[in-house]
Amino acid sequence: MELARHWRLRRQRYTLEGERCPHCGAAIFPPRDVCPTCHQEAREPMTFSGRGRVVAFTTVLQPPDAFTEQAPYVIALVELEEGPRVTAQLTDLGDTQPYVGMPVEMVTRRLRTVSARRGIVLYGYKFRPLLRVDVREAAQAAAHQAAA
């Protein structure tokens, strides 16, 4: 029952919901109900910001069958602001070359078609180059220009 599994994972995939350990405060993603740091029960839901940085990446030229229509594509190890690392596809790169340290943010995108005949398409998270301007940096830049 593949659909049931996708349904169970929907919060994790669509909203980057993980867990916060009530014992040591560790941020946990993906959720696993046991803290990997202190090994105690951790079931407090925590929604991650979706922002992070690329730690490593590679271009996939020979994908598994379900992903052939998207190849070539970039898979990256992303360290989330809150600490955990996740592996996901980079998207919306345009002419931008990925690099280690690149700021990225989560977006929901089509992952693959589960059944074209039944019209079942699987969505989940990918990461794109960070678009949002840091408000404080923008204000400082504007103040700096005004003073010049």
Task: Select from 2, 8, 11, 24 the one that contacts Zn ion (CB under 5 A).
Answer: 24
Residue 23 binds Zn ion, judged by CB under 5 A: yes
Instruction: Give least dist CB 131 to Zn ion, A.
Output: 33
Interior angle at CA 77, CA 97 and CA 8, nearest 5: 125
What Cα–Cα distance (Å) separates residue 25 from each residue in 22, 40, 43, 128?
6, 11, 12, 28
Residue environment code for 96-126, b if the CB has 16+ CB neighbours within 10 A, otherwise e: eebeeebebbbeebebbeeeeeeeeebebbb
Residue 38 binds Zn ion, judged by CB under 5 A: yes
Instruction: Give least dist CB 33 to Zn ion, A.
Output: 12
With CB under 5 A as the contact rule, which of the stretches 37-45, 46-54, 99-107, 140-148 interacts with Zn ion? 37-45
Q: Which is nearer to Zn ion, 26 or 74 (CB)?
A: 26
Q: Which of residues 48-107 bind Zn ion (CB under 5 A)?
A: none
